[in-house]
Copies of this chain bind each other. A is one copy, B any other.
């Protein structure tokens, strides 16, 4: 019962959308969940093997010679629902940008401004990605579309907040230089 890792949730979840190979799971996680989740190769394959041994997923090789697609079993779908209902393990915060700015006096206003500009640019890029994903989901709605848009919206809000903060902070830092 002591599930610590969320990898299982991500893998089962990916397969709940549609059956796919381990390689495709990794791609799906990188591309679709990329803005709020990440998994590496080294996690996905062992997890898939374990899930298969436990009967939560099953190979579904419909006439392939190499590679196989996996799909959720009924037990796997129940497992996913159960995992989703468990309390969310909180990941400790680790924000390298803020860590640097907190000790900004050791760095000076100009170097700090550069750090902030980089954060702003990341937020801009993120906002563009969000817009693209939103357009794609709205153009081609899946049965999950409403939920996906909730996560996209979270990304949009976060990115816009970061933009506003960056703008404000650049002003503050500029005042420190004078």
A interface list, Cβ under 8 A from B: 6, 9-10, 13, 16, 32-38, 77, 80-81, 84-85, 88-107, 111-112, 115-116, 118, 143-144, 146-151, 153-154, 157-158, 160-162, 164-165, 168-169, 172-173, 176
Contacts and interface: CB of A to CB of B under 8 A. Distances in A.
16 contacts: A6-B96, A34-B93, A37-B95, A80-B106, A81-B106, A84-B111, A85-B111, A88-B96, A91-B94, A101-B151, A102-B147, A102-B151, A104-B150, A153-B169, A158-B162, A161-B161
Main secondary structure of the interface of A (DSSP, over half): helix
Contacts of A81: 106-107
A119 to B, nearest CB: 9
A61 to B, nearest CB: 25
A13 B99 contact: yes
A109 B169 CA distance: 38
Given A91-B96, A96-B90, A146-B172, A13 B153 contact: no
B85 A107 contact: yes
A99 B161 contact: no
Q: Which of A116, A157, A168, A172 has the most C-beta atoms of chain B within 10 angstroms of its own C-beta?
A: A157
